Amino acid sequence: MNKRTLKAVCAATTLAALAMGPVTKVAAEEIRVPLASKAERSTQQDLPRTGMAQSSVRNGWGSPRQTTGPVGNPPISQWHYEDFVVYFEDDRVIHAVLKPQR
């Protein structure tokens, strides 16, 4: 095969691939996440707030059932209560999350 024929075959192959590209279908799995119920949302009002100190959380909600960490830099630790988990960076709350109802 000479260079001219090779270039023509490559060009035709490229054009065919580009033309068929948009025709191919993409399949994706749909994941549904249940929204929090009104009861769960009202419970969120009782969770520790961002920026609270560990001492304030302990005074307001008592001692956690379990603690993990600190891990990483900045140090992140978790306090596990019966219905929720509190995440701390150093000694300040960065997030509080309800555990799913089972």
Report all structural domains of the chain as residue ranges with CATH numbers, in order of start.
3-98 (3.30.1450)
pLDDT tens digits for range 77-101: 999 999 899 999 999 999 999 888 7
Interatomic CA distance for residues 55 and 78, integer angstroms = 14
pLDDT tens digits for range 27-42: 788 877 666 555 555 5
The dihedral region occupied by 72, where left means phi > 0, alpha psi between -120 and 50, and beta the remainder, is left
Q: What is the pLDDT of residue 69?
A: 85
Q: What is the pLDDT of residue 67?
A: 92
